[in-house]
Structure formats: C-alpha cells, structure tokens
Amino acid sequence: MTVLLAILCILLLTVIVVQIGRVNELATKIRGEEEIQARANSRHGALSLVFMIVFLLATVISAMYYKDHMLWYGPNTSASEHGSSLDYMFNITLFFTGIVFVITQILLFYFAWKYRGEKGRKASFMPHDNRLEVVWTAIPAVVMTFLVVGGLDAWNEVMADVKSDEDVMEIEATGFQFAWQLRYPGPDGLLGTRNFEMIDATNPLGQDWTDKKNIDDIQPSELVLPVNKKVRVRITSRDVLHNFYLPHFRVKMDAVPGMPTYFVFTPKITTEEYRQRLGALKADGTPKYPEWYEPSDPSDPESPRRYENFNYELACAELCGQGHYAMRRLVRIVSEAEYEAWLGEQQSYYMSSIRNTDADPWKDMLFDSEIKERAAEFNDRVSQALSSGNASDKVLALDHVSYQPGSAELTALSRYQLDNLVSVMNNYPNMVIEISGHTDNTGDAASNLQLSEARARKVYDYLVGKGVATARLSAAGYGQTRPIATNDTPEGREKNRRTEFRIVAQ
C-alpha cells in the first residue's frame, strides 16, 4: 500500500513538473524569447556558482566533522603492522584524487557560468592541440604509475604468506550461517585435519578424531590474540561465501566454500591501549575525542563511557543471508602473559565434547594427561584418607577398576589405577589394606558372593605380581550384602558393583 502511494506521488509530481515546463514555454513565447532566455541563463549560471561553493564547503566541513570516525585517521589509525601501509595508500590516493576532484568541480561550475548562452556569443572551435594532449596524458600517467607501483608494493606486503621458518601462530576461522567457528591448535601448535563428510551435530568442523593433532584443538567463543605476534588465519566456509573482516586491523578476506584462504597479520595495539587512545585527553585536560566520552548506554548517564567499553570486532563483510548481522564476534588483543593465562583456561573440544562418547576412537586407551591427572587425584584421596581419624574415610573406591561382564577378568584400562595403588603401597611401607569386592543384587546371592571374591582376589594377585608383600594384603568378597546405593535403578546398581580397599593399618 505504501509503495503504491509512493508511486502515485512520484507520477503526480512528474506530471506537475511537465505542466510547469509547458506553462513556462508558453510564457516565454508571449514575452519575447531571446531576452528571457538570456536572463534565465545568467541566473542559472550564478546559481551553479553558489551551488559549487555550498557543495565544496559541505564536503570539507563534513570530512572535518567525521574525521575521527574514519578508519585511517586520528584515533582510528591501523592497529596492525601491515595496516599502516594500507592507510598510507588510502591517504596518498585521496590526496591526488582530492586535488583532481576540487579542480574539476571548480572548472565545471565556473565554465557553466562563464560560457553561459548570451545574445550574440558564438562558440569557438578548437580541433586539436598537441600541447594540451601531452599535458593531460602525461600527468595522469605519472600519477597512476606512482599509485599502481605503490599499490603493488603494499599488496605484496599485505598478502605475503608466512615463510616456513617463521615464528607464527596459526588459527582457523570457519564461517557458516550465521556465526564464526574459531579453532586454535592447542599446546602442540598444530591444527588437526578435517573432513567435510564427518561434519555432524557434535562435530561442527568435521575434525578427524583419529588424527592426534585434533585432540588438543580448542574452539573458543572469543577471538583472543597476543599483541606483536604474527598470526596466520586459515579462513574456510561451511556453506556460502562469507568474509573474514577485522576492520581495525585492515584484515579482510573471503571465506570460500571448498577453498581455504588465509590472511597473515600482526596486531600491534592491545584492546586496553586502543581504549586509552580513544579516551586520550588534550593538554588542558579536556577529551581529545568527545564523542568517545559519552555514556555507552544513552539512557543511563552513569554507565561507562564509550571508550571504556570499546572492543575490536570480527564481522562478516559478505551479505550471506538473513542472519548476516549475527556473525559479529568480539576480538581481544592482550599481552603475551594474559594470552597464556586465557589459553590455559580453554578446554579442548575433543576432551569436553567427544571423549568417551560413541564418536571417540580412543575409548580403549588413556592419554598421558589423563594418566597423570588420575594418578594425582588418587594420591590426593589416599593422603586425605591417611590423615583422617574417621574409620569410614579409610575406605576408598577403585573407581577406574572394572571387569569383563560376569567374569573376574580385569579390563585393559584397570591397570592404570592398580599401578597407582602399587606406588602408594611402595610410598607408605607400613600401610596394610583389605581389598573387597561387591556386586549388585541381580542374579542369585551365592554366585554374586563367589564373583565378588574372585574379583577381589584378582586385584590381590595383581598387586602381589607387582611386588607388594602378601602380609600387607587381604582380599574379601561381600557379594550383594553391602550396597552403597539403591539396587532399584541402573545408576544405583552400577555404584554397588565396585571394588574397594580399606586401610587397615598405616
């Protein structure tokens, strides 16, 4: 409806303009054409001069007014190393085109006034002028050569890939509708391989978990980078064209489905330093950039000032669909120490989301880090039990010891905790323990008792095999007689099927 009305309005306006033109034409005929025409020409010529002045002034004033918002000027000069050469190219291009712009605008309007139609004036005809031809060919050629060579130079610097021996960190950004999935290589410094056929709900990047380089890869929600460290961003897309755009760092590269691209850059100003730059004060103590001193929440004058809330951002610079705007991510540039601390807090995606699920190809083995973690946890529990005066605290579960179903055969992974127990026995030579086996209440009590005895005996044998003296060990089976949880639920029964040891003397 609004569109229809708008179209009607435009039609009516056109009709009115045409009608006014006709009326003017008729009036001219009545009043004597030439004299009227000459007067109108003078008026239009003068008006175009006025227009020129207003237009050029507006151009200069608006440029002055908005200068601190422009990416290449004032507080917004580049925050990356290569960015300054791009800024320089923009400045130098603006300088030359600016000169041409001002001269041509002035000439255009001045000529429109100077050579307006007048009674008796005739146009002169100039067929050719060699000197002029040379001047307006040579000057642009020289300027263009200068700009193109400078541009090529900047391009080669900005687009250069890393050399094989360079100290550089590589991260990965994958665009999809509508977010960025970031990936960091983890402690090994290497990104694991990907296969698009493996992409599913739990594996958003299609990481191949059989590739050990993937095990420690991190998928953080925030782009955090250390200052003054060269970063190579591998840019990929999972669906349509996106564009990896970090405006403050002059980084911009398409994310193309099926074809990884990259961008190498070095951030040189931390987020904190950039905030200080925006919040800088003049010599007299007033803000250098007052617009950054306004409250960040316009409805709350007490809210932090805009410069205090400033953040670098990652955007998608390709109109990639309806939710395009949602692809904004915050970017934080921090000191090397802060970066290491942040990295230490991140958990690998594999460990938090894939480990011991159906998708985990390493279910039947432990990683070195897990072995160390479990040993430390076990030693903690033992020393707590030793220092406690409470009899019930002296009973410890061997929670990582398990058996083949219905048999006393130890599973392969059980040996790690049993080895922890062996080293504890070696560390505390006076410690005497009783190993006890327990079952749930499924099946008949007599065979459960037998099974629990056999299982406790198996652990006993293992410890003896590792050199623990038999005098310090005993084994007992209690079957289903000592449940620690209900036998009515599968979880409760799982808790009841257990192997424990009790510290008898220490």
Q: Note the residues at the interface with Cu ion (CB under 5 A).
A: 242, 316, 320, 327
Cα–Cα nearest to 116, from 54, 52, 46: 46
DSSP string, 51-89: HHHHHHHHHHHHHHHTGGGSTTSGGGS-SBTTHHHHHHH
Phi-psi region of 74 (alpha: psi -120 to 50; beta: other; left: phi over 0): left
CB of 256 to Cu ion, least distance (A): 12
CB of 79 to Cu ion, least distance (A): 23
Distance in angstroms (rounded) separating the CA atoms of residues 234 and 469: 58
**Nearest CB to Cu ion, comparing residues 172 and 216:** 172
**Nearest CB to Cu ion, comparing residues 327 and 451:** 327
Helix 33-65 / helix 83-114 crossing angle, nearest 10 deg: 160
- Sheet with 395-397, strands from edge to edge, namely 395-397, 498-505, 432-438, 473-477
Q: Which helix (H) or strand (E) holds 251?
A: strand 251-255
Distance in angstroms (rounded) separating the CA atoms of residues 407 and 424: 27
**Nearest CB to Cu ion, comparing residues 213 and 238:** 238
Distance in angstroms (rounded) separating the CA atoms of residues 108 and 39: 21
Q: Which helix (H) or strand (E) holds 134?
A: helix 130-159
**Are the beta carbons of 247 and 287 closer than 8 angstroms?**
no
CB of 263 to Cu ion, least distance (A): 16
**Nearest CB to Cu ion, comparing residues 245 and 378:** 245
Identity at 22, one-letter amino acid code: R
**Nearest CB to Cu ion, comparing residues 179 and 343:** 179
CB of 274 to Cu ion, least distance (A): 25
**Nearest CB to Cu ion, comparing residues 320 and 334:** 320
CB of 185 to Cu ion, least distance (A): 24
Distance in angstroms (rounded) separating the CA atoms of residues 69 and 46: 35
CB of 262 to Cu ion, least distance (A): 18
CB of 247 to Cu ion, least distance (A): 15
CB of 211 to Cu ion, least distance (A): 28
| Cis preceding linkage at 178, omega within 30 | yes
**Nearest CB to Cu ion, comparing residues 215 and 320:** 320
**Nearest CB to Cu ion, comparing residues 177 and 353:** 177
What SS3 state is found at 381?
helix
